[in-house]
Amino acid sequence: MMSDFYSGFLRDLGGLAVLVTVLGFLFKYLLDHQFSKVQTQMSRFSDILSRRNEREFAVIERAIELMMVAVGVAQQRIGQGGPVPSFQVMQETDALAKIEASAFPEEQKANLRSADIVDRDRLYCVYEQAWSFRICNDACVDFENYLSIKQIFFQPAIFGALRTVEKELNHVLTLVKTHVSTQQLPVFGIQTEIQLFLDVSLNRRIDELGSIIRQRFWGEEK
């Protein structure tokens, strides 16, 4: 009796051991399979994030290029002003050659040629201001249009900082446009405000944008 009991017990114990072994094997297989599946999903997710970051960075890089062109043109053409010759100390042949070489429309060239020697300098400055405004406005429009088209690819904080720079550029252009439309040169107070925006406020906004971008991609503190 006892031998039959032990014999049956050992058989049951052996069967249990086999069952435990099989279950352990199946558990390990399922665990490995699940882990492999998670790794695959994480790898795909990482690839997606990488592609998104690359695309976002490329869009930001292009936006910054357009921004710096617009800011640079504004600081050079409006802040410093384009080159203005002093016609009063020129020979007439040299003055006419300078007028002809300018980028002004033919009507404005004709006005300069017919202007007296005193008024010619002022008129040239007015035309140069209008020409500078046109160049700056074109650069700002390119920048603004790009932001509008690519808005969905920007992280909100970066887009907001870029928009701030664009708005300040447009503020400067608005100040200049008033004088361009009336063919008047900016008075000292307005010119000082323009200069402050171009040299101080805009540079501060660009620095803030740089901090936000570094925080976004490299985790640096603002």
Residue with tokens 């501060």: 204
- The pair of structure tokens assigned to 198 is 């171009």
Residue 123 inside a domain? The answer is yes
Q: Which domain holds residue 102?
A: 53-218
pLDDT at residue 45 is higher than 60? no
CA 172 to the chain's CA centroid: 19
Residue 61 inside a domain? The answer is yes
Per-residue model confidence as pLDDT tens digits over 143-161: 999 999 999 989 999 999 9
Residue 117 inside a domain? The answer is yes
- The pair of structure tokens assigned to 4 is 């039959």
Residue with tokens 């399922």: 30
Highest mean pLDDT among 109-113, 145-149, 185-189: 145-149
Amino acid at 222: K
What is the average pLDDT across 3-10?
48
What is the count of structural domains for the chain? 1
pLDDT at residue 179 is higher than 80? no
Taking the CB of residue 198, how many other CB atoms lie within 10 A of it?
20
Dihedral of CA 210/215/219/222: which sign? positive
What is the average pLDDT across 91-119?
87
Per-residue model confidence as pLDDT tens digits over 7-40: 554 454 455 444 445 445 444 544 444 445 444 4
Taking the CB of residue 159, how many other CB atoms lie within 10 A of it?
19
Task: Please report which confidence band the pLDDT of residue 6 belongs to, taking 50, 70 and 90 as the band edges.
Answer: very low
Residue 87 inside a domain? The answer is yes
Question: Higher model confidence: residue 86 or residue 114?
Answer: 114
Residue 38 inside a domain? The answer is no
Taking the CB of residue 99, how many other CB atoms lie within 10 A of it?
21
pLDDT at residue 187 is higher than 60? no
Residue 7 inside a domain? The answer is no
Residue 44 inside a domain? The answer is no
Amino acid at 141: V
Angle between helices 156-182 and 2-73 (to 10 degrees): 10
Residue 31 inside a domain? The answer is no
**Burial (Cβ within 10 Å: 0-12, 13-18, ≥19) of residue 201:** middle
